[in-house]
Structure 1
Amino acid sequence: MIVASDLEVRVGARTLVNAPGDHLRVQPGDRIGLVGRNGAGKTTTMRILSGENEPYGGKVTQSGPVGYLPQDSREGRIDVTARDRVLSARGLDRIQASMDRQQEIMETTLDDSKRDAAVRKYSRLEERYHTLGGYEAASEAARICDSLGLPARVLDQQLETLSGGQRRRVELAQILFAATEGTGKSATTLLLDEPTNHLDSDSIAWLKDFLKKHEGGLVVISHDVDLLAEVCNKVWFLDAVRSEVDVYNMGWSKYIDARATDEARRRRERANAEKKASALKKQAAKLGAKATKAAAAKQMLARAEKMIDSTDEIRRADKVAHIKFPEPAPCGKTPMMAEGLTKVYGSLEVFTGVDLAIDKGSRVVVLGFNGAGKTTLLKLLAGVERTDGEGGLVYGHGLKIGYFAQEHDTIDPDKTVWENTIAACPDAGEQDLRGLLGAFMFSGDQLQQPAGTLSGGEKTRLALAGLVSSRANVLLLDEPTNNLDPVSREQVLDALRTYTGAVVLVTHDAGAVKALDPERVIVLPDGTEDLWSEDYMEIVELA
């Protein structure tokens, strides 16, 4: 259970949430959708509920275990296997490692006393392992991983060899494994920020079923409306205009109707108040012309202002980022060629011998299952990583690359929004940059906000802003629609449709592929190149 009392959330001088009282409660059986436009404070609020950050005002009280999946999950240790990371949820990885050490001693030592000591330790460890349901738990963990699209071969790999999508699935598997505790029942409160990112359709369907059956509390941030509709029985709406939280104790479809009713009521009340206030102000103006009536006129003006202030502000239409990819700089017929690109992690060969010619204005989509090397290929093309072996890149005349990284690697989290923009657009003037950031909904105090405190959607907008002034003629886009609300996503899709430069796109978003209207496809890990056909759309939706 989680209770937020007199919660106040701020970023810099901006108040994102002001929720007096203790009506923000997460209790067993609650499945709450935390919604609001990009930048309303959803991710920041979720961090505070998890205990990762402190609120500006008020307090958050937790009772019972909490499983938190942040939007950007990056585990500190990457030298452990995916299986050990999942099993660590119940401490089983440490017990298993200790058992393996004692097993090795028993098999190799020539000292009888050491062997006997190892046998005793092994017995105690095995008893503890069995008490925690170790053998059954390992099988259960494998089932959860498989349901999230992580096959057995991936579980034996170290985290550092996995793609961003695979690592996020591992983190989600670890949290869900901890929540089940081997019984299918749980008192764990799950806090999940965009849990369907990088999941295929089958995994999303399994996750929906899991969350519907979860007996503990749940708060979920998601732009997947189908997930919210199927899973949630309550909605918390973060109103960015009023910096308040509206609590709806109902499912998604009823919430949509109730919110529309609330907005209509606010408009009526506001219109009535403004009409009455206008009449009072006119009467006050007439009285004010007479010295003897000045006090009465002043009182009428005060009443008019109070009448307006006592009504809820009408919810203005949400701002929309004006996203348009740059007019590409002139370039030759083939601005970039890749020859024999290869990537190997230890004994694991991700892909080998990939060739690709990126012609002027060409549109290419990269497909493959999670872990096939899609993100790695874009990093090689962007020059962020080097190819293994003798292959490499050949740059043509006038090449200008614009790279959008899936994990927002192009953004320095310790620098401000303004500093990141200057770094991305060093040749642009200050006024041009301010105008650019304004078009992407960054202004005022937000310019001095550390980029690491931005939500996923805000980071996406900031990274896209850096591309716009680059005049890139080859865009390398890795999941550019992740974390965006529906309106912002449509802006990105429109930008893809109208951009005249070359694009190499990695995405799970079928809508993004349709907007790109690709000419060619590269299928990894084989590196097969083919002309695009609608038959490949199934791979997009299942990848």
Structure 2
Amino acid sequence: MITATDLEVRAGVRTLLSAPGPALRVQAGDRIGLVGRNGAGKTTTLRILAGEGEPYAGSVTRTGELGYLPQDPKEGDLDVLAKDRVLSARGLDSLLRKMEKQQALMAEVADDERLDKAVRKYGELEERFASLGGYEAESEAARISNSLGLPDRILAQPLRTLSGGQRRRVELARILFAASDGSGGRSGTTLLLDEPTNHLDADSITWLRGFLQNHEGGLIVISHDVELLADVVNRVWFLDAVRGEADVYNMGWKKYLDARATDEQRRRRERANAEKKASALRAQAAKMGAKATKAVAAQNMVKRADKLLANLDEERVSDRVAHIRFPEPAPCGKTPLMASNLTKVYGSLEIFTGVDLAIDRGSRVVVLGLNGAGKTTLLRILAGTEKSDSGGLEPGHGLRIGYFAQEHDTLDDMASVWENVRHAAPDTPEQELRSLLGAFMFTGPQLEQPAGTLSGGEKTRLALAGLVSSAANVLLLDEPTNNLDPISREQVLEALRSYKGAVVLVTHDPGAAEALSPERVILLPDGTEDHWSQDYLDLITLA
């Protein structure tokens, strides 16, 4: 259970949430949808509730087990096998390694006394292993992982060899395994999940909905997946970015939508009535103020008018929209980027081999492949942030690359919003950059906010702002619509439609591929090139 009392959340000097009064509580059986527009403070609030950050004011108490999935999971030991990472949620990974060590010792020792000691030690470990679910739990971990699109061949690989999306699914599997008692997710663990459907295919999302519906512990979920919210949540916390407050709705998603619309209509009526009364009071005060004998009464009327307006909620303005337009491409030759015989190997695992490609001026290419086929790795190599094991790049005349990284690797989390975009465009005049950031909804004190404190959607907008300032003629885009609300996503899709430069796109979003109107597709891991057809659209959600 989690209880937050008098919680105040800030990002830099911005107050995101001020929740005095009744505590925000998460109890067993509560399945809460944490919603609000991008930048309202959902991710920051969830991080604080999970104990990964401190509130500016107020307190958070936690009892029982917690499972927290951040948007950008922390990098741990990348040499660990994916299977062991999942099993570590219950400490089974270390127990299995100790049992294997004792088995090897029992096979080696000839001395009876040492053998007896090894057998006793093995028995103790096996008893503890059984108390934690034993081999049934190991099968359960595999079942959960498989349901999230992590087959056994992926589980047998070190995390280092997996894509960012696969590593995130490993973390989700680990959290759900910790929360499950073998009967479909029925345990008292409180789950805090930030965009859990990112990088999941349709079948995995369907399975996840069922798991969360059956979960008997507490749950707070941030998601742009409306179907998941409609199927799973029974309460909603709406973070109002205008008022900086949390509105609590003790009802399911569909009833919440109606109730919130009713609340907004009520606030508009209250404001209209109060403004009408305040206007009448001020008009009367203006008439009376001319007479010295009625000056005090006139002043009191003005005070009453001010008090009427001061007690009202701030008027809601329409949610601002980022005006995303990719750059006018700098002049370049006919083929600004070529690559030949690109190969990537991790240890004995071959990711892809012998990939050749030529990116012509203004061409539009989609990279497809099953998870783990090396799509993100290929874009990293093309961007120059990772080396291929053979082959190489051949930059053409005038090449200027703009790279959008799936995990926002191009951002410096310790630097401010302003410092990040200034680094991306050091020669651009300051006022031009400020106008650009304003178009991407970064203004005022938020310019000084560290990038690491931004939500996933805000990081996406900041990374895109850096691209726009670059005048790139080849854009390498790795999941550019992740973490975006529907309005911002449509802005990105419109920018893709109108961009005149070359684009190499990796995406799970069929709408992004359709907006790009690609000419070609590159299929990994073989590097086969083909003309685009609608048949490939069905592969997007599986890739």
TM class by shorter chain equals over 0.9
Q: Distance in 2 between matches of 1:163 and 1:279?
A: 64
Greater shift, 178-187 or 498-507, is seen at 178-187
Q: Which residue does the alignment assign to 2:295?
A: 294
Q: Give yes or no for contact 2:86–2:171 (8 Å, CA) kept in 1.
A: yes
Partner of 1:474: 474
Q: Could you tell me how far 1:434 is from its partner in structure 2?
A: 0.9
Q: Using the alignment, how far apart are the partners of 1:110 and 1:377 within structure 2?
A: 52
SS in 2 for 1:10: strand
The 8 Å contact of residues 3 and 22 in structure 1, kept in 2 or not, is answered as no
Cα distance between partner residues in 2 of 1:246 and 1:413: 30
Which residues in structure 2 correspond to 1:514-525 (within 5 Å)? Answer: 514-525=514-525
Where do residues 456-535 of structure 1 align in structure 2 (5 Å cutoff)?
Answer: 456-535=456-535
- Structure-to-structure mapping, 1:14-413, within 5 angstroms: 14-184=14-184, 185-389=186-390, 391-413=391-413
Check whether the contact 1:17–1:244 (CA below 8 A) recurs between aligned residues.
Answer: yes
SS in structure 2 of the partner of residue 529 of structure 1: strand
Distance across 2 between alignment mates of 1:175 and 1:350: 27
What amino acid maps onto 1:388 in structure 2? D
| Per-residue deviation, 1:79 | 1.4
- Alpha carbons 2:518, 2:532 under 8 Å: kept: yes
Q: CA deviation at 1:108?
A: 2.4
Distance of 1:425 and 1:117 partners within structure 2: 66
Work out the CA distance in 2 between the residues paired with 1:115 and 1:525: 49
Return the letter of the residue paired with 1:216: G
Q: List per-residue Cα deviations over 1:403-447 (Å, max 9, x = no partner).
A: 000000000111111111111111111111111111111111111
SS in 2 for 1:67: strand
Q: Deviations over 1:91-136 (max 9, x none)?
A: 1111111111111212223444332221111111011111211100
TM-aligned CA deviation for residue 183 of structure 1:
4.1
Whole-Å Cα distance in 1 between the matches of residues 394 and 75 of structure 2?
35
Matched residue type, 1:398? G
Partner SS state of residue 100, structure 1: helix
1:86–1:173 contact (8 Å) kept in structure 2? yes
Matching residue's letter, 1:267? R
- In 2, Cα distance between equivalents of 1:498 and 1:110: 75
2:205 and 2:302 map into 1 onto residues whose CA distance is 57
Residue identity in the other structure for 1:310: N
CA–CA distance in 2 between the matches of 1:431 and 1:78? Answer: 42
CA contact 1:326–1:470 (8 Å) conserved in 2: yes
One-letter code aligned to 1:9: V
Q: Deviations over 1:347-390 (max 9, x none)?
A: 0000001111100100001111111100000001101111112x
- The answer on whether the counterparts of 1:263 and 1:314 sit within 8 Å (CA) in structure 2 is no
SS at match of 1:94: helix
Once the two structures are TM-superposed, the CA of residue 253 in structure 1 deviates from its matched residue by 1.1
- Alignment partners' CA distance in 1, 2:48 and 2:23: 16
Measured against aligned partners, the alpha-carbon deviations of 1:298-339 in whole angstroms (never above 9, x if no partner) come to 111111111112222221101111110000001111100111
Does structure 1 retain, via aligned residues, the 8 Å contact 2:460–2:484? Answer: yes
Determine helix, strand or coil for the equivalent of 1:356.
strand
Q: Distance in 2 between matches of 1:134 and 1:372?
A: 33
Amino acid at match of 2:471: R
RMSD over aligned Cα atoms:
1.0
**401-410 vs 24-33, which deviates more?**
24-33
DSSP 3-state at the match of 1:267: helix
Runs of 4+ in 1 over 6 A off after TM superposition: none
Query: Is the 8 Å Cα contact of residues 368 and 540 (structure 2) preserved in structure 1?
Result: yes
Conserved in 1, the CA contact under 8 Å of 2:34 and 2:220? yes
Distance apart, 1:292 and its partner CA: 1.9
Give a deviation string over 1:236-282, Cα, whole Å, max 9, x none: 10000000001111111111111111111111111111111111111
Range moving further from structure 2, 19-28 or 365-374: 19-28
* Displacement of 1:56: 1.0
TM-score (norm 1): 0.98
Write the deviation string for residues 180-230 of structure 1: whole angstroms up to 9, x where unpaired.
Answer: 133442000100000000000000000001000101111000011111111
8 Å CA contact retained: 2:494, 2:515? yes
5+ residue gaps, structure 1, are: none
Q: Which residue identity lines up with residue 528 of structure 2 in the other structure?
A: T
Q: Which amino acid aligns with 1:467?
A: L
In 2, distance between residues paired with 1:368 and 1:284? 73
Cα separation, 2, equivalents of 1:2 and 1:453: 22
Q: Deviations over 1:69-91 (max 9, x none)?
A: 00101332111101110000101
Aligned length: 542
- 5+ unaligned residues in a row in structure 2: which ranges? none
Distance in structure 1 (CA, Å) of the matches to 2:163 and 2:118: 38
* Partners of 1:534 and 1:541 in 2: CA distance: 13
Query: Is 100-109 or 452-461 further displaced after alignment?
Result: 100-109
**Residues 22 and 98 of structure 1, relative CA distance in 2, 3 Å threshold:** farther
Contact 2:12-2:450 within 8 A present in 1 as well: no
Q: Within 2, Cα distance between the matches of 1:513 and 1:383?
A: 24
Question: What is the CA–CA distance in structure 1 between the aligned matches of 2:33 and 2:527, rounded to whole Å?
Answer: 40
The alpha carbon displacement at 1:10 in A equals: 1.0
Shift in Å at residue 285 of structure 1?
0.9
Q: Which amino acid aligns with 2:310?
A: D
